[in-house]
Amino acid sequence: MELTEQMKTIVVIFGATGDLAKRKLFPSIYNLYTKGQLSDNFAVVGIGRRELSQADFQANVVKSLGSEDGNTEAFSQHFYYHPFDVTNRNSYIELKALLEQLDETYQTEGNRIFYLAMAPEFFGEIAQSIKREGLTNTKGYSRLIIEKPFGHNLASAQVLNEQISQAFTEDQIYRIDHYLGKEMVQNIEVIRFANAIFEPLWNNRYIANIQITSSEVLGVEDRGGYYEKSGALRDMVQNHMLQMVSLLAMEPPIKLTTNEIRSEKIKVLRAIRPVKESEVHDYFVRGQYSSGMINGTSVVGYREESNVSETSTTETFVAGKILIDNFRWANVPFYIRTGKRMTEKSTKIVVQFKDIPMNLYYNNSEQHLSPNLLVIHIQPMEGITLSLNAKRQGKNIGIAPIKLDYCNNCEDIINTPEAYEKLLYDCMRGDATNFTHWDEVALSWQFVDPISRVWEHEEVRNLPTYPSGTMGPEEANQLLAKDDFFWWSLFN
Amino acid sequence: MELTEQMKTIVVIFGATGDLAKRKLFPSIYNLYTKGQLSDNFAVVGIGRRELSQADFQANVVKSLGSEDGNTEAFSQHFYYHPFDVTNRNSYIELKALLEQLDETYQTEGNRIFYLAMAPEFFGEIAQSIKREGLTNTKGYSRLIIEKPFGHNLASAQVLNEQISQAFTEDQIYRIDHYLGKEMVQNIEVIRFANAIFEPLWNNRYIANIQITSSEVLGVEDRGGYYEKSGALRDMVQNHMLQMVSLLAMEPPIKLTTNEIRSEKIKVLRAIRPVKESEVHDYFVRGQYSSGMINGTSVVGYREESNVSETSTTETFVAGKILIDNFRWANVPFYIRTGKRMTEKSTKIVVQFKDIPMNLYYNNSEQHLSPNLLVIHIQPMEGITLSLNAKRQGKNIGIAPIKLDYCNNCEDIINTPEAYEKLLYDCMRGDATNFTHWDEVALSWQFVDPISRVWEHEEVRNLPTYPSGTMGPEEANQLLAKDDFFWWSLFN
């Protein structure tokens, strides 16, 4: 039996009436509670602008869990609502008193997690006020969890980081990238370093290219206002996509400690070849969805979405080619692709191995063997597929591709914990491995900034579009065709 | 669409009233017929000692097919029975007349296959008489198919080969090893040479050992008389097991032609380290089954079987360690294991890869990662399994083995052709790749002879026994334990 560490802490959620709290945080805390990873010595303080009674807040918490059982009532009793004005000093003073009282009641040993699940404008203000008013002066730990976006370019991220750093040290700051909490993203490291057969192949002698796709079926929904300022590059590439590149490309760390792993990931980001503004079109493609069909239903184009400008040039799709200039990866393109209103919801990594040095099976040069592929399925299916070649069944001649499959979540789907559940537990345990270090944030913005600068100043007529329900604009295919590659289909 | 070559030939089966003809040959010829691989220009002549009417023989053929359909009647019309005395010259003269008449009737272009599906005593006599009486004097091809056993040691095999060679050249002789007709045995070559990821790993830098097991649940049944003279070493190791070793170990041939592949296989057999008589106990273990339980039913020991001596020392089980002294395989043991009355019917190859150079996942030295395994399932299940390590599902820590599976015969089981069907078709096409060359036979006997010599002269009390329903005697486990390995279970 694995020994479960039982956590004692107060979690303060700024933005407790918001979507993230309801959809992810309350259920995650509940799961930790029912699994015994959270002791009875915990409390959650919900912070929001509006007035809300204790009873209503607790009812909201119960409602967010989907179904009630014998535990939900007792669980919700640990939740406290605290109406708040982030710019008003008194709010912090009152919060401090509440936290001290709860610390007493629940014996949480002075441990406090401040979770900023809200718009980023006030991150700096809140962090500094928390510090200034003494909310972190306890005998336990104080940690700050921050949701994306962390700035909208390198300069704004630096400003934000300076503000936060005045109140919290780097090792108190937990920058959430929820992709790092996903089961199969965490598995990348294990697949690479716990299996003898992959590491010898994991380099430019045997790998032709690596393709990372994160496609969504949904459009911007009611987040048009946010998305207009962000776009796919900032929303997905700067964080999630580059994080997956780092995990796939990093050298084996000397130990599996937070610092060693981060240090190797940072080395990858430092080795990525910068894309100069004059070269952006050689490496990156953007697109915006037009109207189309999704599952037999017609949907509107991005510019017709609410809170979106009729002349918007915001990209809802990005494809890019990333080169890592080090010994292991020289000349192996990492292709990334992400967008909204695509054919299917799917995040997958396809490692395409080089062709065999000599094809013994066909004299006819027009026939070719399929390359070996290692596919890591991140979501919604979780698993691993290895595509090999084998004898065509029952035939005297001929080779056909076969697939070796492993599914991680086909049975027992309920027991796969949500990313947020694991990340919250990691934060309570003080394990920052699956959070983003400031250096990673900075290097990612540094890489992405020239691309967004070019796109911002580009003429509208140069913005490729793609019909909703497709895998992006034709330009994304051309990006690989230039290198004699193509995107592997995600759907077979 | 694959172009199917339609064969025209007469197949003469010596031993047409026997078990092999009924169970394998008639159904295989029927399958070739219904698939259109055999044209209407074919005839089968059944040869046997006893008298049998044409009608009864054709009825036997139909019966052997299991079920009748619209084709069976027409099919059986191609079958002719010919009573025969192999030592009587007239039998051959009459057969010659019959073949000439059938050649005329069915327009088989003088093509003749002589299939010796009978006891080996008369192989030489028959081959020579066929030649002497002019049965091979046609404008088409003449080919000889021989069933095992091909001698019982090197000396007797040489005698037999000399006799046959006086009548047929080496490239007219098709020595059946029906394992070479099995779908997944034929796949070994494809797995190795059509996949870029295996060849770099396929050597002593990455492979720790290779285990080949062919286990049967049946005992000797009614073949006690034959088996007493043979034993598992001659019945299984000299042919099937060494053939699988060759296919697994051979260097990539420069072309996939019969001669190039055979040449590489022969090089492996030449590189196998000979086992001196004084060393037999270090490399080989034999065993004999005693009574036990098979699927809940008690069964008798080998010595209580009919036609078996009460003091028999015939081995019903062999385990061995084979070393191949070449650059690729130095220090990689190939462990083989085969026997009757074992736990389950199964033929499997397990390639065990070496451990990773450094285990990042456990500081505690008592915990270890499972090695990566590539399992090739030969029968009854056909497929490939790759055992890897992955994150324990839903846990923050811990690694667990996972399996990537491919099953070749789970769906569509009916369409996987039998080994005999493929081998007969190969012989009709003149493709000898999946038959055993004389050099392979000779080298295999050379390897096996010292072992059987030692066992023949050994005292009875040194013969290990194993209860029916188990995986062999304890000595077979010790064989691997000496090298710090163990047999991988075949049943999970």
The secondary structure of A76-99 as a DSSP string is HTTEEEEE--TT-HHHHHHHHHHH
Q: Per residue in A307-326, is it b (16+ CB within 10 Å) or e — as a string?
A: ebeeebbbbbbbbbbbbbee
- Residue in chain B closest to A261 (alpha carbons) equals B360
pLDDT of amino acid B126? 96
* Average pLDDT of span A446-457: 96
Partner-chain contact B395 A197, CB within 8 Å: no
Give the β-pairing of A142-146 and A112-116: parallel
Q: Which residue in the block uniquely carries the two structure tokens 């007529």? A: A461
Smallest Cβ distance to B206: which of A200, A255, A389? A200
Smallest Cβ distance to B405: which of A186, A405, A429? A405
Best to test chain B binding among A185, A195, A402 (most B CBs inside 10 Å): A195
In angstroms, what separates the C-alpha of A206 from chain B's closest C-alpha?
Answer: 8
In angstroms, what separates the C-alpha of B354 from chain A's closest C-alpha?
Answer: 7
Q: Per residue in A94-128, is it b (16+ CB within 10 Å) or e — as a string?
A: ebbebbeebbeebebebbbbbbbbbebeebbebbe
CA-to-CA dists, residue B472 to A207, B217, B320, B334, B459, angstroms: 43, 12, 12, 18, 20
Best to test chain B binding among A32, A197, A350, A424 (most B CBs inside 10 Å): A197
Q: Binning pLDDT at 50, 70 and 90, where does residue A2 land? A: very low
The secondary structure of A393-432 as a DSSP string is TT-SS-EEEEEEEEESSSSSGGGS--HHHHHHHHHHHT--
Active site residue B240: yes
CA-to-CA dists, residue B142 to A49, A332, B109, B131, B431, angstroms: 95, 55, 11, 10, 13
Partner-chain contact A412 B393, CB within 8 Å: yes
Q: What are the chain A neighbours of B404 within 8 Å (beta carbons)? A: 384-386, 404-406
* Average pLDDT of span A290-295: 94
pLDDT digits (tens, 9 = 90+) for A332-380: 999 999 999 999 999 999 999 999 888 888 765 557 789 999 999 999 9
Residue A457, burial from CB neighbour count under 10 angstroms (0-12, 13-18, 19+): exposed
Query: Per-residue confidence of chain B (492 residues) as pLDDT tens digits?
Result: 345 678 999 999 999 999 999 999 999 999 999 999 999 999 999 999 999 999 999 999 999 998 888 889 999 999 999 999 999 999 999 999 999 999 999 999 999 999 999 888 899 999 999 999 999 999 999 999 999 899 999 999 999 999 999 999 999 999 999 999 999 999 999 999 999 999 999 999 999 999 999 999 999 999 999 999 999 999 999 999 999 999 999 999 999 999 999 999 999 999 999 999 999 999 999 999 999 999 899 999 999 999 999 999 999 999 999 999 999 999 999 999 999 999 999 999 999 999 988 888 876 555 778 999 999 999 999 999 999 999 887 666 688 899 999 998 887 555 567 899 999 999 999 999 999 999 999 999 999 999 999 999 988 777 999 999 999 999 999 999 999 999 999 876
What's the mean per-residue pLDDT of chain A? 93
pLDDT of amino acid B2? 45
In angstroms, what separates the C-alpha of A114 from chain B's closest C-alpha?
Answer: 22
In angstroms, what separates the C-alpha of A5 from chain B's closest C-alpha?
Answer: 11
Smallest Cβ distance to B197: which of A201, A397, A416? A201
pLDDT digits (tens, 9 = 90+) for A19-46: 999 999 999 999 999 999 999 999 999 9
Smallest Cβ distance to A399: which of B190, B398, B415? B190
- Which comes out higher in pLDDT, residue B414 or A71? A71
Is the pLDDT assigned to residue A313 strictly greater than 90?
A: yes
In angstroms, what separates the C-alpha of B452 from chain A's closest C-alpha?
Answer: 37
Is the pLDDT assigned to residue A220 strictly greater than 90?
A: yes
Smallest Cβ distance to A399: which of B183, B194, B353? B194
| Cα–Cα distance measured from residue A35 to residue A421, given in angstroms and rounded to the nearest whole number | 11
pLDDT digits (tens, 9 = 90+) for A120-168: 889 999 999 999 999 999 999 999 999 989 999 999 999 999 999 999 9
| Cβ pair B389, A195 in contact under 8 A | yes
Of A228, A263, A303, A237, which is closest to residue A456 (Cα–Cα)?
A228
Q: What are the chain A neighbours of B353 within 8 Å (beta carbons)? A: 196-197
Q: What are the chain A neighbours of B355 within 8 Å (beta carbons)? A: 196
| Cβ pair B287, B339 in contact under 8 A | yes
The secondary structure of B68-86 as a DSSP string is --TTHHHHHTTEEEEE--T
Instruction: Show Cβ contacts of residue B406 under 8 Å, excluding neighbours closer than 6 positions.
Output: A388, A390, A402, A403, A404, A405, B383, B384, B385
Q: Per residue in A382-409, is it b (16+ CB within 10 Å) or e — as a string?
A: bbbbbbbbbbebbebeebeebebbbbbb
- Residue in chain B closest to A256 (alpha carbons) equals B360
Q: What are the chain B neighbours of A397 within 8 Å (beta carbons)? A: 2
pLDDT digits (tens, 9 = 90+) for A401-415: 999 999 988 875 555
Partner-chain contact B404 A394, CB within 8 Å: no
Q: Of B240, B281, B437, B457, which is the active-site residue? A: B240
User: What's the gap between Cα B190 and its chain centre?
Assistant: 18
DSSP 8-state symbol, B149: P
Give the Cβ contact number of residue B486 at 10 Å: 12
Smallest Cβ distance to A195: which of B2, B205, B388? B388
Give the Cβ contact number of residue B476 at 10 Å: 24
| Cα–Cα distance measured from residue B38 to residue A265, given in angstroms and rounded to the nearest whole number | 62
Q: What are the chain B neighbours of A404 within 8 Å (beta carbons)? A: 384-386, 404-406
Q: Binning pLDDT at 50, 70 and 90, where does residue A235 land? A: very high
Q: What are the chain A neighbours of B197 within 8 Å (beta carbons)? A: 197, 201, 206, 353, 372, 388
The secondary structure of A211-279 as a DSSP string is EEEEE-S---TT-HHHHHHHHHIIIIIIIIIHHHHHHHHPPPPSSSSHHHHHHHHHHHHHHBPP--GGG
pLDDT of amino acid B282? 97
Give the Cβ contact number of residue B235 at 10 Å: 23
In angstroms, what separates the C-alpha of A250 from chain B's closest C-alpha?
Answer: 15
| Cα–Cα distance measured from residue B47 to residue B193, given in angstroms and rounded to the nearest whole number | 42
Q: Number of residue pairs across A and B with CB atoms under 8 Å?
A: 169
| Cα–Cα distance measured from residue A466 to residue B248, given in angstroms and rounded to the nearest whole number | 50
